[in-house]
Amino acid sequence: MVYQEYLISEPLKSYVKVIWSMESDECWAPPMRILPDSCVELVIHFNKPYRTTFSNNTTAVQPQSFVVAQLKNFIEIEPHGKIGMMSVRFTAQGAYHFFGMPMKEIANGFVDLKNIWNKLAEEIEDRIVCCHDNNQRNNIIQYYLLKQLYKNNKEDATLDRCLNLIYSLKGQVRADEIASRIGLSNRQLVRKFNDSVGLSPKEFSKIIKFIGSLNYLRSHANSNLSAAAYECGYYDQAHFIHDFKEYSGLTPSQFLTLENVVY
């Protein structure tokens, strides 16, 4: 399996965390569990699409190109053919600049890119499949991203302040406290998050807190669960384990023993 990341052009750096590719001539790889990570991902397959298993045990073959936005639960993916894909991972505050629609409409699921960008998606798919190498594919993807950015771009400094507050407090903040600090009503705050992030501020904060717990466990593997719960802002160990299972389908100890878990 060959994984590669690509340089991002300057106008996109504020909105895109990473552009990456994965390729393999093998038709099999172990399932990979994807946990909620607060990001939005645009994926374009130029070989066989993966199969996805959702947290409710339903399965579906991924579209050739799709957007997966703000997961609330884990998924598992595995190939069923030759692997070849390009992917763009947007920041939580970056994705809405490219899609021209309320992000809540595409949250927590896989949405075919044709349902968002219409005929433009088919054009992108055709060009990506016909490329000679992934550097070419990267250039094409960034060309279309820039087109969509200039078409849909609308800066929202207030949203950035909200998200920066949540990040700085590691998700350990109530929605009403965010609204009060930023100077919004609770209703305005929820509407802003639904439109531009895809989750409510409460849901988003919970996921950021969960991500913090993943990082804590990775760096403190020998810590007991009570200490981990306290350090990560949970009321007690029971609440910590409940949220951990909700988002990952795993206990903390299982998470530490598995290799094919990403977030």
What are the phi and psi torsion angles at 133 (to 5°)?
Answer: -155, 175
List of residues 6+ apart from 91 with CB closer than 8 A: 14, 15, 16, 17, 39
Could you report the average pLDDT of every consecutive run of 10 residues in the chain (263 residues)? 96 97 88 95 97 94 95 93 96 93 90 96 97 97 96 89 97 97 97 96 97 94 90 93 95 92 92
pLDDT at 142: 98
pLDDT at 27: 78
* The token pair that represents 151 in the structure block: 């078409």
List of residues 6+ apart from 196 with CB closer than 8 A: 93, 96, 103, 156, 159
pLDDT at 159: 96
pLDDT at 80: 86
Q: To which H or E segment does residue 187 belong?
A: helix 186-196
Q: What is the DSSP letter of 109?
A: S
d(C-alpha 231, C-alpha 124), whole Å: 45
Topology (CATH) of 2-152: Jelly Rolls (2.60.120)
d(C-alpha 254, C-alpha 217), whole Å: 11
Q: How far separated are the first and last CA of the chain, in Å rounded? A: 19
List of residues 6+ apart from 149 with CB closer than 8 A: 11, 12, 15, 97, 98
Cβ-contact 50, 62 below 8 angstroms: yes
Closest CA to 67 of 20, 13, 108: 108
Closest CA to 231 of 215, 247, 245, 244: 215
Q: Does domain 157-262 have CATH number 3.30.310.50?
A: no
Q: Tell me the CA distances in angstroms from 226 to 208, 231, 241, one per residue in order.
A: 19, 9, 10
Q: What is the DSSP letter of 250?
A: S
d(C-alpha 245, C-alpha 80), whole Å: 28
pLDDT at 75: 95
Q: Is the dihedral of CA 119, 72, 211, 80 positive or negative?
A: negative
Domains 2-152 and 157-262 share a fold: no
pLDDT at 25: 85
d(C-alpha 198, C-alpha 191), whole Å: 10
Closest CA to 52 of 61, 43, 65, 41: 61
Task: Give bridge partners of residue 69 from the DSSP assignment.
Answer: 40, 107
pLDDT at 143: 98
Task: Give bridge partners of residue 75 from the DSSP assignment.
Answer: 34, 54
pLDDT at 28: 81
* The token pair that represents 200 in the structure block: 């409510």
Domain ranges within the chain, ordered by starting residue: 2-152, 157-262
